[in-house]
Amino acid sequence: MASAAEQLTSSLSLGVLSKATELKKRIWFTLGALVVYRLGSYIPVPGVDASVMTEMLQQHGGGILGMFNMFSGGALGRMTVFALNIMPYISASIIIQLLTAAVPSLEALKKEGEQGRIRLNQYSRYLTVLIAFFQSYGIAIGLESMRGSFGAAVPNPGAMFLFTCVITLVGGTMFLMWLGEQITARGVGNGTSLIIMAGIVANLPNAIASLLQLGATGALSPVFVIGFFVLAFVVIGFIVFMERAYRRVPVQYPKRQVGNRMFGGDSTHMPLKINTSGVIPPIFASSILLIPATIAGFSGGGTGWLTFLASQLGHGTPAYMALYAILIIFFAYFYTAVVFNPEETADNLKKYGGFIPGIRPGTATAEYFDYVLTRLTTVGGIYLAAVCLLPELLISNYNLPFYFGGTSILIVVSVTMDTVTQIQSHLLAHQYEGLIRKARVRNRR
């Protein structure tokens, strides 16, 4: 039996899309907002020689700076107003989400519905300003001390530069946060995710061109290049399959009589995704492992323990691969425990009269959810580790210029799937409204 998504996709046509005026406006608004984002990623921060920053990233691109430069679409390397990208907002949202599981007052806000969600979003915005301020101040201090072959990164350091740099970078982050919210409200898809994906995809043509150039010059065999692209399509297909995979937990609602009529007795299911944690585990794991390399790179080298640790945890080393996989699986369990509360889910199910066949409501249902989710998370964590380790093996063994790691592939594929799903939902709503209008016209006749 074909899935609902496949049936809906097969029913779509260019004719339906051309009639969906509201959807076309949303798509054009989304594209326009992303164009604004890409244009802003080329506006430089005043008083900075971007060539020095580019040189530093070439020397220390294997650390955290390289990862953030990838997420920002090269804006950090060019030292533009969007150098911080929207990452402070992502960090703030994750911190608030983690705090809701530890702070009772925030947990109570989460349960208040729409008003509670609005207040939590407001707290995320305040925390975003604070995180962006400290990050931009650290970048400004670092820029004043940077020197490259072209001279100093900041020709005129001082209080005025610090003030200008901090205000510019914080303002750029807040603008992107606002732009992401506008895309979510007036466009198609999640605005924050689309901005991150746009930054990652921006350098995709250059990466493919570099790979093809290596094949043309003989540095890589043509067979390997073809095999690489075939493997890339296989990995993308595997990600799509795993991200859509879920376990159906059957839920039954008892029959109840109101007057002379019977209600209820419905049977449905609760979908539990295999990968509940999303792309958070790879981001956390890579950030932690890149800290030693970043600090050692900016400390001027030497023979200290930090340099030794950075060499042992370099890309492609056995220790890096092992710790990367362990941390991904650990954070998969950790973040799943934060976003999914078995006790709360079991209580909500019991409140509305639902139950799992063969499982008693309440504590037994919570234990069953925990049992199922633990095994699903094990499979999801292994899947995330496999997807993230495969690009690392290829890059380290074949010295590929293809900078896309597992985290980037996961983000691009997941955001694309979510955006396509939203487009399909808008088209389905448009078709449904059209059927209602036709039915009303027939009734009037």
- Tokens, residue 181: 């919210």
**Structure confidence by residue, pLDDT tens digits, 328-358:** 999 899 888 888 888 888 888 888 778 888 8
Percent of the chain scored above 70 by pLDDT? Answer: 80
Terminal CA-CA length for the chain: 38
**Structure confidence by residue, pLDDT tens digits, 249-259:** 888 877 665 55
Stated as kind and residue range, the H or E segment containing 390 is helix 363-398
Q: Which CATH number fits domain 204-404: 1.10.3370.10, 2.60.40.10, 1.10.3210.10, 3.30.70.270?
A: 1.10.3370.10
The answer to whether 421 touches 188, Cβ cutoff 8 Å, is: no
What pLDDT is attached to residue 12? 44
Higher pLDDT residue, 414 or 15? 414
The model's pTM: 0.81
What residues contact 346, with CB distance under 8 A and at least 6 apart? 361, 362, 363, 365, 366, 369
The rounded distance, in Å, linking the Cα atoms of 295 and 436 is: 62
- Tokens, residue 246: 């879920």
**Structure confidence by residue, pLDDT tens digits, 151-180:** 788 888 888 989 999 999 999 999 999 999
Mean model confidence pLDDT for the chain:
80
Sign of the CA dihedral with 201 first, then 289, 66, and 121 last: positive
Q: Is the pLDDT of residue 274 over 80?
A: yes
Predicted confidence band of residue 11 (pLDDT cuts 50, 70, 90): very low
Any idea which of 28-42, 338-352, 357-371, 403-417 has the lowest mean pLDDT? 403-417
What pLDDT is attached to residue 4? 43
- Tokens, residue 9: 């996709």
Predicted confidence band of residue 71 (pLDDT cuts 50, 70, 90): confident
Torsion of CA 176, 178, 183, 189, to 10 degrees: 70
Q: How much is the average pLDDT of 99-113?
A: 80
Nearest to 312 by CA among 293, 286, 284: 293
The rounded distance, in Å, linking the Cα atoms of 433 and 417 is: 24
Any idea which of 113-127, 196-210, 401-415 has the lowest mean pLDDT? 401-415
The answer to whether 426 touches 25, Cβ cutoff 8 Å, is: no
Q: Is the pLDDT of residue 139 over 70?
A: yes
Class for the domain spanning 21-202: mainly alpha
Maximum mean pLDDT: which of 7-11, 162-166, 274-278: 162-166
| Angle in degrees, 0-180, between the axes of helices 64-71 and 50-59, rounded to the nearest 10 | 120
Q: Is the pLDDT of residue 232 over 50?
A: yes
The answer to whether 165 touches 158, Cβ cutoff 8 Å, is: no
Higher pLDDT residue, 67 or 105? 105
What pLDDT is attached to residue 9? 46
CATH 1.10.3370.10 in the chain, residue ranges: 21-202, 204-404
The rounded distance, in Å, linking the Cα atoms of 30 and 18 is: 17
**Structure confidence by residue, pLDDT tens digits, 290-306:** 766 666 555 555 456 66
Nearest to 373 by CA among 247, 262, 251, 287: 247
What residues contact 193, with CB distance under 8 A and at least 6 apart? 411, 414, 415, 418
Q: Is the pLDDT of residue 379 over 90?
A: yes
